[in-house]
Structures are given as structure tokens and as C-alpha cells.
Structure 1
Amino acid sequence: MQQRRILSEKQINAELLNGNLATPKWYFPVMGVLGIGVVIGFITILYMFNRGLGVTGLARPVYWGLFITTFVFWVGISHAGIMISAILRLTQAEWRRPVTRAAELLTVFSLLTALFSL
């Protein structure tokens, strides 16, 4: 039997919060790159608002534009999540619980992403 360690409240807080309070060295460079990506995204959205939907491929001669294709893609991904979850539930596989949860989460988030692409 292992002996119990008696820890003070400060030691418990230090051990539990150490992963949340200390940032690794790669954190700020990665956040900088992601921030640059967000700024580029906003610039492209402003460009689209300024020039119109023709820059997205929704001009008159183009029938399948960027937004429609993205919407159909994410709805299809959500169908895959529903199918995986349904198959695992119908077969009553005991190992299915984490996979089913992940598939249902995939369904929810892909439907939300499809909603945002409208």
C-alpha cells in the first residue's frame, strides 16, 4: 500500500494549475501565426464585401460557388457522423462509447459550421 502524502493547499493548487498557468515556448509563435490567419480572413471578407460575391464564384456563369460547396461539404460530413453513431449503436458494440461520442460531436460541429457558411 502506498503511503498518503499530506499536501498543503498551496501545493495542491500548484500541482493542479501548473499545466494551465505555464505556457510552453511554442505557444506565442503559434498564436501569432493564427492571429495573422484571422487578420487575413477579415481582409478577404472585407474584400468580398467591397467587390461583391463575384470573387467567391457566385457570379452568374458559375453555378456552384464557394458558399454552396462548403455548405454541402459540411452537411455531408455531419451525415457521416450520424451514420457512424447509428451503426455503432445498432450493433451494440461495447467499445463504441468514445467513438460514438466523437461521431456525435462531429455531427454537431459540422452542422454548426455548415450553418455559418450560409
Structure 2
Amino acid sequence: MLSSFFASVLTRLTLRWPVIVFAATWTACLTLTVALASFSPEVAFVSAISSSSSCESEGLIRVLSDVPGDILCLPAHLFSKSKIDFIVPPVFAAVVVAGSAFLVRALGLWEGDEPR
């Protein structure tokens, strides 16, 4: 009885194998998009302020400015975590996931699979 259950489940999975592979591929693509969109600004900011820091004194942090070549050094105690730091990353990730899902929907990648 148990083997017949597994056989029926295996039969259903093999019939849907292309759909499962398709869903897994798009899930991986969306996950990669979210990861890149979430971590790339952070990596860029950290590398920009720490790679060639020109602040000679201890306790100063180099801050990026709009003017190229302009160096702004501020005391480190001015930079601390706030309550909004816990809210912004999940909201940003949700916006990226929703945008990716709308992009996939707009491209209509599954329209060939739907009956008319």
C-alpha cells in the first residue's frame, strides 16, 4: 500500500517535471535578484568609505559627498543604528521581489502553457 502511494506520487511528479524545473528556475532567479539588489548598495557604500579613507584622526569616518574629490570626515559617534534600520531592509526586499514578480508577469513567460 505504501509503495503504491509513492508510485502514484512519483508518477504525478514525473508528469509535472518540466513545470517543477521551470518554477525552481524562476525561484532561483528571483532569489538571486533580491540578493544582488539587497547587498550591492551596502557593499558599494562600505567599500567607498573604507577603501581609501583619508581621515587621519582615529574616530572619524569618511562620508561620501556629491562633489568628486571632496572628502568629508565626521565623528564616528554620529553614526549608530536607529529603529528605521530594522524596517527599511525588509521593505526594500519586498519591493524588489514584487518588482521581479511583475517583470516575470509582464514578460508573459508562461502564456504558452495556458489553454485558450
**TM-score normalised per structure 2:** 0.31
Whose helix proportion is higher, 1 or 2? 1
Larger relative strand fraction: 2
